[in-house]
Structures are given as structure tokens and as C-alpha cells.
């Protein structure tokens, strides 16, 4: 199996899925776009589910990398938290607008057979996000910026306060500016209670 060919097939799949969604993208479409035969695709990927899994894994890696890129170590812990919380909404909004496949993966609306896998992928994203918030809060405590007794619990609760905004993006994409305003207000409310 050629890794280059496998990557080209996956890239063709990703391109088609971003426009047409997971269910409407066929193996024949992928073969045509990648310039290979259907048989070649089945040598590299046993079925469409394997392509979806590879695609979803790349999505998770990309989202996590994008979240990490939001953190500027030269900023204060409060600024880092702000950039992470507000920036994460913008990242998810961008993905949902630009890629129908990502929208389907994050919404779990493809079919029941994907729900468990997507749930674990969402859990992986959340775990990383909580870890980033935890690290920033811990730095803030050590620098004397935040007064937090239980950093891991506070990090998780802090993130829970913003969870509803992600699903709102799916259903209220025309109101993202309003969602950001509400998220900023929530951030100001919470951060005020964390500071010394």
C-alpha cells in the first residue's frame, strides 16, 4: 500500500465530503476525483467507514492543534483564557461553515452507527480543551492572578459554562456575533470570580 496514494484518496474524500457530506459522497466519486479505480480504494480502505474514521481522526487532530495555537505563552493567564474560549467558538464556527462533513461528525447526525465513535472523539476534544484551561488556570494560581482551590474541577466547570454555545453555532449560524457577545459576557462574569 502506497502511503502517498492512500493520502491522495483521503484528500479526495475530504474535499468531496466538505461539499456534499458523508452520505452523498460515494466510493465512485472518490475514485474519480483521486484518479484511481474503485478497487484501488478498497486495497487501502476496506470500506467507506474506514475513510470516515481516518477523516474524523484528522478533524480531531486539527481542532486540537488549532486550540493549542490559540495560546500565546507571552500573554497573561486571563488573556490566554480569553483567547482560548473566544477563539474556540470562531474555530468551530469556521469548520461548521466550510465543511459539511465536519458538521455531520460534530453533530452526530449521520446515523446511529457513528454516534459512539463520534462521542469518543468529542470527548477527546473536550479532554484536551479542559487540559489547556487547567494548565492556564494553574499558571494563573502560581502567578497569583487567580484564586482557585480546586483547579481541575474549576477548569471543567469553566468549560461547562460554555458548552451550550457550540451547539448553538450549528442551529443559529446567522447569530454568531450575538453568541460571541454572550460568550464574552459569560467569560467576564466567570473571570471576575476567579481573580484575586
DSSP sequence for 84-150 = HHHHHHHHHHHHHHH-HHHHHHHHT-S-HHHHHHHHHHHHHHHHHHHHHHHHHHHHHHHTTSB--S-
Instruction: Assess whether 125 and 190 both reside in one domain.
Output: yes
* pLDDT at site 128: 92
* pLDDT at site 117: 57
Does residue 16 have a pLDDT over 70?
yes
Judge contact between 170 and 107, C-beta under 8 A.
yes
Instruction: Assess whether 114 and 129 both reside in one domain.
Output: yes
Number of domains in the chain: 2
- Domain of 169, CATH number, reads 1.10.357.10
Instruction: Assess whether 114 and 166 both reside in one domain.
Output: yes
Instruction: Assess whether 59 and 151 both reside in one domain.
Output: yes
Name which of 78, 73, 75 is nearest 188 in CA terms: 78
Query: What average pLDDT is seen over the chain?
Result: 85
* pLDDT at site 165: 65
Beta bridge partners of 145: none
Instruction: Assess whether 42 and 110 both reside in one domain.
Output: no
For 132-164, the pLDDT digits (tens) are 999 999 999 999 999 999 999 999 999 888 877
How far out from the chain centre does Cα 87 lie?
Answer: 12
Does residue 60 have a pLDDT over 80?
yes
pTM of the model: 0.81
- Domain of 11, CATH number, reads 1.10.10.60
* pLDDT at site 3: 79
Instruction: Assess whether 86 and 148 both reside in one domain.
Output: yes
Per residue in 18-55, is it b (16+ CB within 10 Å) or e — as a string?
beeebeebebeebbebbebeeebbeebbeebeebbebb
Instruction: Assess whether 29 and 73 both reside in one domain.
Output: no
Instruction: Assess whether 143 and 180 both reside in one domain.
Output: yes
Beta bridge partners of 69: none
* pLDDT at site 144: 95
User: What residues make up the domain containing 4?
Assistant: 1-46
Instruction: Assess whether 80 and 5 both reside in one domain.
Output: no
Instruction: Assess whether 168 and 110 both reside in one domain.
Output: yes
The DSSP element (H or E) to which 22 belongs, if any, is: none
Instruction: Assess whether 40 and 121 both reside in one domain.
Output: no
Amino acid at each position: 500500500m502506497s502511503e502517498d496514494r492512500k493520502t491522495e484518496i483521503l484528500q479526495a474524500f475530504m474535499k468531496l465530503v466538505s461539499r456534499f457530506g458523508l452520505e452523498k459522497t460515494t466510493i465512485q466519486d472518490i475514485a474519480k476525483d483521486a484518479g484511481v479505480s474503485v478497487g484501488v480504494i478498497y486495497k487501502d480502505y476496506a470500506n467507506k467507514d474506514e475513510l470516515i474514521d481516518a477523516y474524523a481522526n484528522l478533524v480531531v487532530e486539527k481542532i486540537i492543534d488549532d486550540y493549542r495555537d490559540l495560546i500565546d505563552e507571552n500573554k497573561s493567564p486571563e488573556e490566554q483564557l480569553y483567547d482560548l474560549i473566544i477563539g474556540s467558538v470562531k474555530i468551530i464556527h469556521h469548520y461548521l461553515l466550510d465543511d459539511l462533513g465536519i458538521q455531520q461528525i460534530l453533530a452526530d447526525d449521520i446515523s446511529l452507527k457513528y454516534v459512539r465513535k463520534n462521542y469518543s472523539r468529542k470527548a477527546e476534544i473536550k479532554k484536551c480543551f479542559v487540559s489547556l484551561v487547567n494548565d492556564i488556570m494553574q499558571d494563573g494560581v502560581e502567578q497569583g492572578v487567580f484564586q482557585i482551590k480546586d483547579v481541575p474541577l474549576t477548569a471543567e466547570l469553566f468549560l461547562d459554562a460554555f458548552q451550550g454555545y457550540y451547539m448553538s453555532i450549528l442551529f443559529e449560524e446567522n447569530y454568531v456575533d450575538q453568541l460571541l457577545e454572550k460568550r464574552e459576557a459569560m467569560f467576564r462574569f466567570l473571570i471576575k470570580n476567579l481573580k484575586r
